[in-house]
Amino acid sequence: MSTAIDDNVIHGEWHVRYNYSVGKVAGQFFDGLKQKRILASHCAASGIAYLPPRAYCERAFEPCDGWVEAGHQGVIEAATIVTAQFEHLPPPPYAIAYVRLDNVSTALVNFVRGMELSDVPAAAARLKPGTKVKVVFKDTPEGRITDFHYELA
């Protein structure tokens, strides 16, 4: 018997609900956002200030024991301009960047808005590592990472 096999499928979908615990550290960070403050956790042993805030320091492997407030200016460490439409992701084009904010040791990803993106290589050239950017908050932050974004300084 040799019949062509159709792509005969059984349809399935997968909706699982999750309740992710925020915990104290992330909770404090998100509370800070509501006041337009970006709080980084700090480890005295290593001297590293982390964004996203960490309960512990990866370098010292000790609990982070303090907080520092990040400046609202920083430099790009890495960036890209997304020009393809991905399922469940925003309509292109848009830019995202890892930015190391003032007073902080690590870089935090967010959207870079307010840029002309139609000429992709030209726009990419304006987002090179080392480029200065600033933080812009929403008028009414609600304690989400999307309460703010970056813009070229």
Partner 1 sequence: MAKNTVAVIGTGQTKFKTHYADKTYVELAQDAAKLAMDDAGVTPDELDAIVFSMAPTQFMGVNDCDRWATSHVWGTGKPFMRIHAGGATGGSALQAAYVHVASGVHRTVLVVGADRVAETPDAQHVLNLIWDRFYEHDFALNTVTMTALAAQRYMSRYGTTEEQFAQVVVRARKNAMGNPYAHLKGEITVDDVMNSPRVAYPYKRFDICPRSSGAAAVVLSNLDVAKEKCARPAFVNGVSAITHSVFMGDRMGVFSETEFSDHDGEHIAAYEAYRQAGITDPTSQIQVAELYDPFSTFQFPSIESLGFCGRGRAAAISDEGGWDLDGQVAIGPSGGTLCTNPIGVTGLVRVVDAANQVMGKAGQNQLPNVHNAVATAVGGSTQFFAVTMLGDDHATRGRVQ
Partner 2 sequence: MDVFVIGQAVHMPAARIGEKRLEELVFDTAHAALADAGVRRGQIDHVTIAGCDELDGRSISSMLLAAPAGAQLRDEMKCTDSGLTGLCLEAMRLESGIFELGLLVSWSKPSTAPLEDVMRMRCEPFYTRPIGLNMAITDALFAQAVGEKYGFDEFDADEAVLEAYRRADRNPRGIGHGVPAMEDIALSPYLAAPLRREHQAPITDGAVAMVLASAEWLKRNPNARALAQVAGIGWRNEQYDLGSDRLAGLTGFRATLDDALMMAGLKNAAGLDLLELESQTGFHELAFRAALNGNAPKDISTSGGAFAQNPYFCTGLVNAAEAVLQLSNNAGPIQIPRIKRAAAHGSHGFAQQGNVAVVLERV
User: Among 90, 102, 132, 138, which residue interacts with partner 1 (rule: CB under 8 A)?
Assistant: 90
Q: Does 62 bind partner 2 (CB under 8 A)?
A: yes
Q: Which residues contact 134 (CB under 8 A, 6 or more apart)?
A: 72, 73, 74, 150, 151, 152, 153
Q: Does 84 bind partner 1 (CB under 8 A)?
A: yes
Q: Does 18 bind partner 2 (CB under 8 A)?
A: yes
Find out whether 98 and 77 touch, Cβ atoms under 8 Å: yes
Q: Does 6 bind partner 2 (CB under 8 A)?
A: no
**Phi, psi torsion values for 127, nearest 5 degrees:** -115, 25
Q: Does 59 bind partner 2 (CB under 8 A)?
A: yes
Q: Does 35 bind partner 1 (CB under 8 A)?
A: no
Q: Does 88 bind partner 2 (CB under 8 A)?
A: no
Q: Which residues contact 138 (CB under 8 A, 6 or more apart)?
A: 147, 148
> What's the one-letter identity of residue 38?
I
List the x/- string, 98-137, binding to partner 1 by CB under 8 A.
x-x----xxxxxxx--------xx-xx--xxxx-------
Find out whether 75 and 106 touch, Cβ atoms under 8 Å: no
User: Footprint of partner 2 on this chain (CB under 8 A)?
Assistant: 10, 12, 14, 16-26, 54-56, 58-59, 61-63
